[in-house]
Amino acid sequence: MRNPSIGQSRRLFAAFLLASLCPFVASLATIPDSSAFTATVFAQDQTIWDGVYTDEQAGRGQRTYEQECAACHLDDLMGDGIAPSLVGSSFFFRWSDLSISDMYTAIRTTMPQGAPASLSPSGYADISAYLLQKNNVPAGDTELPSDTDDLEAIMITEAQ
């Protein structure tokens, strides 16, 4: 007669073997992922300091800002005490190490207060360009896009 506990311990052993192999199998499975991850990191090497908007775009952004935002954030973007300042240390404290996409999306989904998402995607991109300009980030030859996948690749950093 077979001792049932032997069969049981074999099953246990097999289960243990499988479990201990799992991390190894998992690490094999993540190799293609890790190269995709590296590609993402490279794509995010671009920062706001690489000339990611144009002066003309920031000019359009300023006009839209004055119509849609200045009532609360004021003409100098310093805020009115309730609406926060959008320039200087408050800008970099809020957005550093995030992407332009994070900032663009936060603005588009919450501002103007009371009428979020009421501007066109390019209107929000223009305002984002204006915010960069007012934070002394230099302009370049290409406009800031309004596609969030493209904006995701541009990181906000405090220093160059």
Which C-beta is closer to ligand HEC: that of 79 or that of 138? 79
Which residues sit at the interface with ligand HEC, rule CB under 6 A? 68-69, 71-73, 82-84, 86, 94, 106-107, 110-114, 127
With vertex at residue 120, the alpha carbon angle to CA 116 and CA 123, rounded to the nearest 5 degrees, is 95
Least distance to ligand HEC, CB of residue 110, Å: 5
Least distance to ligand HEC, CB of residue 138, Å: 21
Which C-beta is closer to ligand HEC: that of 45 or that of 70? 70
Least distance to ligand HEC, CB of residue 120, Å: 11
CA atoms within 13 A on the CB side of 38: 6
Least distance to ligand HEC, CB of residue 136, Å: 17
Q: How far apart are CA 76 and CA 64, in angstroms?
A: 14
Which C-beta is closer to ligand HEC: that of 29 or that of 82? 82
Q: How far apart are CA 158 and CA 155, in angstroms?
A: 10
Which C-beta is closer to ligand HEC: that of 23 or that of 114? 114
Q: Say if CB 127 and CB 70 are below 8 A apart.
A: no
